[in-house]
Amino acid sequence: MNITTDSLEFIADNLANQDYAIVDHFLSLEEVNAILEVFALHQDNDKFKRAGIGKDENLQYDRSIRGDYIKWIDPQNAMPPVKLFLSKIDELKDYLNRTCFLGIKDYETHFTIYPPGSFYKRHLDQFQNDGARKISFICYLNKNWQSGDGGELRLYLGDEVKDVAPTAGKLACFRSEIIEHEVLLSKKDRFSLTGWMLNHPVGLGFVV
Ligand SMILES: O=C(O)CCC(=O)C(=O)O
Ligand SMILES: [Fe+2]
């Protein structure tokens, strides 16, 4: 299913006015279930890797900062349910370029699992000396998530915070260079697709 024009407008307006947007039903339950099956296949067949902090020679692994496991998605070889998700992100990217003039050229996405007890401390999604990430987006895949399960995305908005429960089908997106955020301790396995819209094509890395 395509994203509705209402959702596209809602996301663009909210990004323009408050630097973040949350949409509850970006994916249908069927679409979530199909992506979870792909997750299960990848968990069986290939290992997810511990996520690092920083990039290239600054890459570090530190459980006291971030405890998730990731697997990067190769869009060409992605399974159909993942391709469908990426096509929605493509649609969103084109819409944001038309309406918000963000100059997004590409995006990169990974599968993400936060095992019980893991979190990601407060941070900005920008590497030092690299402003390539323009919009961060996270789509959550957790059915029957209860308030005591933790794992909220906490957005820091000036003097306030906003906590977002990682419930199935929801998309959270925000301006990567502006919104500090964290993932609160999750008590259960927490599944999501995480990505960034970039101001250069994937693979080129840092370009001046
Ligand atoms: O999963 C989330 O809610 C946020 C993840 C995050 O902040 C990141 O991967 O940079
Ligand atoms: Fe982040």
ipTM score for this prediction: 0.99
DSSP E strand stretches across 14-132: 20-23, 49-50, 69-72, 106-114, 120-123
| Phi/psi at 146 (5° precision) | -105, 160
Q: What is the whole-number distance in angstroms between the Cα of residue 158 and the centre of ligand 2?
A: 17
Residue 54 confidence (pLDDT) above 60: yes
Atom of ligand 1 nearest to the CA of 166: 3
pLDDT range class, residue 128, cuts 50, 70, 90? low
Superfamily grouping for domain 5-198:
q2cbj1_9rhob like domain (2.60.120.620)
**Which pTM value belongs to this model?**
0.94
Q: 139 CA distance to ligand 1 centroid (A)?
A: 10
Evaluate if residue 207 carries a pLDDT over 60. Answer: no
User: What mean pLDDT comes out for the span 19-47?
Assistant: 93
Closest ligand 1 atom to residue 123 Cα is 7
For residue 153 and ligand 1, the question of a CB distance below 6 A is answered with yes
Q: Is the CB of 113 under 6 A from ligand 1?
A: no
* CA atoms of 97 and 83, how far apart (whole Å): 21
Contact 125 CB / ligand 1 (< 6 Å): yes
Looking at residues 148-176, what average pLDDT do you find?
97
Closest CA to 31 of 108, 143, 136: 143
Q: pLDDT band at residue 129, thresholds of 50, 70 and 90?
A: low
Those residues whose C-beta lies under 8 Å from the C-beta of residue 203, and which sit 6 or more positions away, are: none
Cβ(138) to ligand 1 under 6 A? yes
H-only helix segments in 56-157: 80-100
| 83-94 pLDDT per residue, tens | 999 999 999 999
DSSP 199: S
Q: Whose CA is nearest to atom 7 of ligand 1?
A: 182
- Confidence at residue 159, expressed as pLDDT on a 0 to 100 scale: 94
Which atom of ligand 1 approaches the CA of 181 most closely?
A: 7
Which atom of ligand 1 is nearest the CA belonging to 190? Answer: 1
